Structure 1
Amino acid sequence: MSATREVLVAGVGMVPFAKPGKSPPYDEMGAAAIRMALADAGIDYGAVEQAYAGFVFAGSCAGQRTIYKAGMSGIPIINVNNNCSTGSSALFLARQAVASGMVECALAVGFEEMDPGPIPDAFPQRISPFADFDTACDTLVDVDLPLALRYFGGAGKAHMERYGTTLRDFAEVRAKASRHAARNPLSVFRNVMTAQDVLDAPLIWPGVMTKPMACPPTCGAAAALVVSRDFARKHGLDPKVRIAAQVMTTDHPVTLQSQDMIQLVGRDMTERASAQVYEQTGVGPEDIRVVELHDCFAHNEVVTYEGLGLCPEGGAARFIADGDNTYGGRVVTNPSGGLLSKGHPLGATGLAQCFELTHQLRGSAGGRQVEGVRHALAHNLGLGGACVVTLYEQC
């Protein structure tokens, strides 16, 4: 169902992302991001009617602990966990609350304080949410690596076998991320790498992946305030950005039944979510100049180019070679540096995308500014699964 009320992005906030052990505690980061978003919007916490807090690695009611540091007004606070798409899921709920007329002003905040190394199974004594996915993956991938590496490396390997994509193509994507992140003071990794640097780095999966092609565990927080047009008028606000459309999809049987690693990592969800966004707005991929997409691995960025319709199926290598994924090309992908260089604190990622694209549409992205931006697309993916695609536009 389409939203019936216009939803405006009134304020955004984001703290610098950091390596594990180098950040403040999650509640301090989240509260700081909230205060930044309130200041950016020019409103007090007392105007917020509902709040949605996204996190994966924190205890029950961590949202309350975090939000209470910004204010305690008795409002509903809902805690959200949707794997890597947690931040955008929190925003999805906040936007729905405003679009439906339930509230005039809602807060979405995402935060994560992560540990070094691969993500562990938090509850090894219980059935894994990925059990069916693991069974499907095991029939296609025979390599002893942590879960995420097998999934996304397997998808990249399938893309190479099917379309002739090369390891250098993935390296070029990773190098591009580093160049973009060098312009972003909030990114955790700002060192520029060449494609050859990426290729010469330690191997994780011979012929498929080197270490820099995988995003690092990261700590950070981001927040957004969404409001109705009536609220903006009443409070004398003049937001420059609105959410034109936002769609969340989950898996269809094809994910598990296709015997296809590209489908197993969410290609169908991405295609269906983006298609619905384009249909609802009349805006197509050819109209979009800037995209923040879920590059948890360089391999997933390549797969997502095609899933979002930025290039034809099998056309990602040409898209990369022509420079159409960066400044001077057709669409700048991940001007923030993306998950690969900016970092990927799971609960914060979708809201960090909102932060970046809001500034792109305002024309306030500084050295990262993409010229001629009227529409901006965000893609946030969580295995298990959920995919949120959001179209932001100037208003």
Structure 2
Amino acid sequence: MSKVLVAGVGMIPFVKPGASDSYPVMGARAARLALDDSGLDYDAVQQAYAGYVYGDSTAGQRALYDVGLSGIPIVNVNNNCSTGSTALYLARQAVEAGIVDCALALGFEQMVPGALGTVFTDRPSPLERFDAVTDELAGHPEVPMAIRYFGGAGQEYMDRHGVGLELFAEVRAKASRHAARNPLAVFRKEVTAGEVLQSPVLWPGAMTRLMACPPTCGAAAALLVSEAFARRHGLRTDVAILAQAMTTDTRSSFESGEMRHVAGYDMTVAAAGQVYEAAGIGPGDIGVVELHDCFAQNEVLTYEALGLCPEGGAAGFVAGGDNSFGGRCVTNPSGGLLSKGHPLGATGLAQCYELVSQLRGRAEQRQVEGVDIALQHNVGLGGACVVTLYGRA
């Protein structure tokens, strides 16, 4: 098995729907940035994995054909919100197994305003089982689906641990402070926890608008290579993927009677456990993490699923500032999905871009001191979870 290095990363600034270039322009630009960062030409790429959620078949080819026409395999990937990390997972497998020495993972999304919804209404939804369980546990079928899943899980958390919406508001305010340091984030204005609580209500008592990530357009990419290939071509060898795992739903998602499991909690626990075991580390060794904060509620749940704090310990973790600069584990220094934005296909690769930047010491105003390893968590309901550990090679 070959050691997998991250030779190059690229990311374009995320923007609101209607303000972006078209998806092929965004995708090609991110791919070129990753190639430029590595010092390689597109002709060196032996396979490419292109991730997107809202697009027609072979949109990956449409984006990459503007970068080069080399005849390589291009695989289109769709795994809901974990699409970008799924593309990264496939590229990593190909390099690690020695099938290729150089693989490109690309993610892009051209979104429209408003809450996520079903596109194909003339056939069964892939989320039917999730909706049925959510109907039973959380009710409110009039609420958009993603808000029901994560708002229901947040309400369950508040009831179980005796905390209020203020906890989620503090998480969102922290995201805005981090994003203020990130020129690639869509929302760079700082907001207070009070402003988060006073924003329009999406679900009375369970969620306000600022606790939800915005629909966003953007693209990001990563170039993965074997160690031998990097040395032959004089590429940088400073960042490696130390461990990676992908999980999907088990019976607990639908039979546990808990909304946190519907929202991917168990997938995260399993994936993180596999990564920690493979790398021989524990959550206490992690000093920086980019996690899937599609809603502030999910960030809180994920603290505990990743083992960053004990179950029920998120309020203390947040109150003590352990999720921010100067704390034990800087969470989403990029601003996360809540402030940086969430173009579904690009999100996982934007997380990769951020953590590679941190490990290279080039994150500028948002640089976390003393970073040697970094953890990435990306989840998509339906469902799949990818957890990736990066380290200095």
Q: TM-score, normalised by structure 2?
A: 0.99
Map 1:276-291 → 2, pairs under 5 A? 276-291=274-289
Q: 2:94 aligns with which of 87, 90, 97?
A: 97
Q: 1:161 aligns with which of 151, 159, 162?
A: 159
Count, aligned residues: 392
Aligned to 2:74: 77
Q: 1:117 aligns with which of 101, 114, 119?
A: 114
Which amino acid in 2 is paired with 1:385?
Answer: G
Whether the 8 Å CA contact 2:227–2:237 is kept in 1: the answer is: no
| Cα distance between partner residues in 2 of 1:327 and 1:391 | 20
1:17 equivalent to 2:43? Answer: no
| Cα distance between partner residues in 1 of 2:272 and 2:172 | 24
Map 1:262-281 → 2, pairs under 5 A? 262-281=260-279
In the TM superposition, what is the alpha-carbon distance from 1:239 to its structure 2 partner? 2.5
Map 1:321-332 → 2, pairs under 5 A? 321-332=319-330
Which amino acid in 1 is paired with 2:333?
Answer: P
Map 1:133-172 → 2, pairs under 5 A? 133-143=130-140, 144-172=142-170
Map 1:43-58 → 2, pairs under 5 A? 43-58=40-55
| Cα distance between partner residues in 2 of 1:38 and 1:124 | 39
Which amino acid in 1 is paired with 2:222?
Answer: A
In the TM superposition, what is the alpha-carbon distance from 1:284 to its structure 2 partner? 1.2
In the TM superposition, what is the alpha-carbon distance from 1:237 to its structure 2 partner? 1.0
| Cα distance between partner residues in 2 of 1:370 and 1:107 | 27
Aligned to 2:59: 62
| Cα distance between partner residues in 2 of 1:304 and 1:138 | 23
Map 1:173-252 → 2, pairs under 5 A? 173-252=171-250
Deviations 1:29-84 (A, max 9, x none): 00000000000000110000000000001111000000111111000000000000
Q: 1:106 aligns with which of 103, 128, 134?
A: 103
Which amino acid in 1 is paired with 2:3?
Answer: E
1:304 equivalent to 2:302? Answer: yes
Which amino acid in 2 is paired with 1:318?
Answer: G
| Cα distance between partner residues in 1 of 2:46 and 2:325 | 40
Whether the 8 Å CA contact 2:117–2:145 is kept in 1: the answer is: no
| Cα distance between partner residues in 2 of 1:207 and 1:327 | 30
Q: 2:370 aligns with which of 369, 372, 375?
A: 372
Deviations 1:163-212 (A, max 9, x none): 11210000000000000000000000000001111111111111111110
| Cα distance between partner residues in 1 of 2:294 and 2:241 | 24
Which amino acid in 1 is paired with 2:379?
Answer: L
| Cα distance between partner residues in 2 of 1:107 and 1:19 | 26
| Cα distance between partner residues in 2 of 1:161 and 1:127 | 33
Q: 2:344 aligns with which of 343, 346, 370?
A: 346
- What is the DSSP-based 3-state SS (H/G/I as helix, E as strand, rest coil) of the residue aligned with 2:35? helix
| Cα distance between partner residues in 2 of 1:386 and 1:372 | 31
Structure 1: runs of 5+ lacking an equivalent: none
| Cα distance between partner residues in 1 of 2:41 and 2:101 | 14
- What is the DSSP-based 3-state SS (H/G/I as helix, E as strand, rest coil) of the residue aligned with 1:139? helix
Q: 2:259 aligns with which of 258, 261, 264?
A: 261
In the TM superposition, what is the alpha-carbon distance from 1:141 to its structure 2 partner? 1.0
Deviations 1:104-133 (A, max 9, x none): 000000000000001121111100000011
Instruction: Spell out structure 1 runs of 4+ moving beyond 6 A.
Output: none
| Cα distance between partner residues in 1 of 2:188 and 2:254 | 37
Which amino acid in 2 is paired with 1:74?
Answer: G
Structure 2: runs of 5+ lacking an equivalent: none
- What is the DSSP-based 3-state SS (H/G/I as helix, E as strand, rest coil) of the residue aligned with 1:301? helix
| Cα distance between partner residues in 2 of 1:72 and 1:252 | 41
| Cα distance between partner residues in 1 of 2:244 and 2:327 | 26
- What is the DSSP-based 3-state SS (H/G/I as helix, E as strand, rest coil) of the residue aligned with 1:153? helix
